[in-house]
Chains A and B, each alone.
Chain A
Amino acid sequence: MDQSHLSAAPDDRVVALQARAVAKRFRGGVRALDGIDLDIPVGSICALVGPNGAGKSTLMKAWVGFERPSSGSVAVFGINPWQDKPAALDQIGYVSQKPALYRGLTVADHVALAGTLRAGFDRGLAERRLDELAIPLDQDTRTLSGGQQAQVMLALALGTRARVFILDEPLASLDPLARREFLHVLVDAVRADGATAVLSSHVITDIEQACDRIVVLGVGRKILDESIGEALATHRVAAADVVPTTPGAQPVGAFPGPLGERLALWLVPRDAAVDPALRAATLEEVILGQLAASRVPRARSQSPVA
């Protein structure tokens, strides 16, 4: 396939989804996005996380062509969805935040409907995935559980055989088992086809297992954008009053621990000898520390609590 039109990420990987200085202001002056620059490389499964109102859905909707950026631009495999929406949509499989299924139609009807809407829709693939999950094709979608409805939405998206899947908080209403099943299906499908996926979620433990990249947004700004492995390797946690002796350690932010204690996130050089007072950070702690740092002016002293 000719990929000459595709842009490249700074590390020379081909970019599936791109945002350049994207800002979005809604009526009333609310800023949902504020100068976002982002490259999602082909083949990655990227988690988009951040608090409510951080701009995750807005950014995803900009890629799908539902929201027009106030300034800056977005692209899907180099195609601006506002200049060539059909071509951009051809690349995308989308799963919305709430299951958007038709009342009174069966699962099979939805598969047939997708076939009438999308040229090249792979009905066999969609039906196989649903069959594997024991979701009856002749069942009215109103009678499906929330997890099954989400799986139907995912099967429809996967049936498009799109090159990039955009999933807007698809796990929000699912129980732990349904979340696990959903992510399992997603990861298998994306890996098998060499596709790309971006999903937003608040459930960090699930993301950690399914995704290889994380982008943290806070109040419309990008706070962190790196591989999950890199994020875990370069962040450490200590009690907030500890000043580590690790050379090159930089304070990131302080946040409350699960028992109310104050913890501090530290950024440490990848190969540095780490102070025993610092322990490995979980992905959730990386995100909490980064979000905390984005909310207050970063202190340049050696104590993140300062």
Chain B
Amino acid sequence: MLTKLRLLVKTYRFELVAITLACLVLAGGELLVTAQLDAVALPKECDFNQSVQGGFQAQPVGPVTGTLSDDACQLKQQAFYEVDQRATLVLALGAALPVLAGILVGVAVVGRELEAGTASLAWTMGRSRRRWYLTRALLLAAILGVVLSLPAFAAEFLEHARQPHVDPWSSFNDSGIRGPVLVLFGLLTYAIAVVAGAVLGRQLPALIVTLALTLVALSGFGVGVMRWERSLAEWLPATSATYSTDIVFDQEYRDRASGEIVDQNSVMAAAPQTDGGPDGTWIDAHYESVALAVPGRRYSFVVAVQVTALGSAAILLVGLGLLVVNRRRPD
């Protein structure tokens, strides 16, 4: 087994060295920005977090802990958000890397063997194409998974630094661009690339097709996840914490007497008018501002389901690749 692993790593050393370097550099960048954010040491009373998840772009409602008039706080906030912009850039790079790494390694697994003609050597030297395929596909997937874990989990530290007073595993902020889901995006892309390489037998066309299919697959996945998450949503009192940790889909009012959800226009129309518009005191007395949201405490559950779905899809695709390899001509 060690010989197999050694030869596999040697055969794919360009791809493996490239993605390992990229992942190390990215993880290093994430940890550096984490350290810079930590160095600012933003106090909790100055943490004005405006992160909004979901499609709802309204400003946060309810009390905030920051005191914008406080000069010291403003200086801290300014320093913090300057560094935080770098965090946004690093996290965006981190979101693209798994897809690129998955494509680079995946198309080579079978596609390069077919293109270079080495498949005919391997498929006649060994008695089982299944063993040949599964050994290399799974070993490379394992290596890819480990390597991608470096930036994916460094992004968790970065997230904690971005929201220093929130547990990242109880917050949907930056979900999908950190943690295990990111690794699974890479593995799904890898599996698509393996199948594309096996079907097309040439690396460049397989790379292009994989890129297109991955964009479609990840977009479809995003839409599906959004719909599923909406089914998990519940009406919660709207606070700044809601907007910094939860996925918010909608914001309305709840009638304090009946508990009924009432849309904002109806509330505004029913409220007595003052010179400054609807009477806020009257509204607060009769209605509670609520948000339709998936609470941050469900983050772990949502991530577990996403990981299971992406992992299952990747396994199915690797199985499809096996069918193709078993039936395919080597040239």
Q: Which residues of A contact B (CB under 8 A)?
A: 61, 64, 66-67, 85-87, 89-90, 92-94, 96, 98-105, 109, 112-119, 121, 153, 156, 160
Q: A89-B124, A114-B125, A118-B126 are in contact. Are A66 and B7 (CB under 8 A)?
A: no
Task: A177 to B116: give the CA distance in the assembly, Å.
Answer: 26
Q: A66-B330, A67-B329, A117-B132 are in contact. Are A100 and B121 (CB under 8 A)?
A: yes
When the two chains form the complex, which single residue of B3, B128, B330 contacts A86, counting CB atoms closer than 8 Å? B128
When the two chains form the complex, which single residue of B11, B122, B128, B329 contacts A66, counting CB atoms closer than 8 Å? B329
A-B contact count (CB 8 A): 69
Q: Are B13 and A118 in contact (CB under 8 A)?
A: no
Q: Are A94 and B128 in contact (CB under 8 A)?
A: no
Task: A174 to B31: give the CA distance in the assembly, Å.
Answer: 56
Task: A26 to B13: give the CA distance in the assembly, Å.
Answer: 38
When the two chains form the complex, which single residue of B117, B121, B127 contacts A90, counting CB atoms closer than 8 Å? B127
In the complex, B4 has a CB within 8 A of chain A: yes
When the two chains form the complex, which single residue of A94, A117, A119 contacts B120, counting CB atoms closer than 8 Å? A94
Q: Are A112 and B7 in contact (CB under 8 A)?
A: yes
Task: A105 to B128: give the CA distance in the assembly, Å.
Answer: 22
When the two chains form the complex, which single residue of A105, A114, A156, A160 contacts B10, counting CB atoms closer than 8 Å? A105
Chain B residues touching A, majority SS: helix
Q: Are A102 and B11 in contact (CB under 8 A)?
A: yes
Q: Are A105 and B329 in contact (CB under 8 A)?
A: no
Q: A89-B127, A117-B132 are in contact. Are A101 and B121 (CB under 8 A)?
A: yes
Q: A96-B117, A100-B117, A101-B118 are in contact. Are A116 and B3 (CB under 8 A)?
A: yes
Interface string of B111-153 (1 = CB under 8 A from A): 0000011111111111110001000000000000000000000
Task: A104 to B11: give the CA distance in the assembly, Å.
Answer: 7
Q: Are B3 and A94 in contact (CB under 8 A)?
A: no
B-chain residues with CB within 8 Å of residue A94 when the two chains form the complex: 120, 124-125
Q: Are B124 and A92 in contact (CB under 8 A)?
A: yes
Given contacts A61-B329, A89-B127, A101-B121, 7 further A-B contacts (CB under 8 A): A86-B127, A94-B124, A94-B125, A104-B10, A105-B7, A118-B126, A119-B127
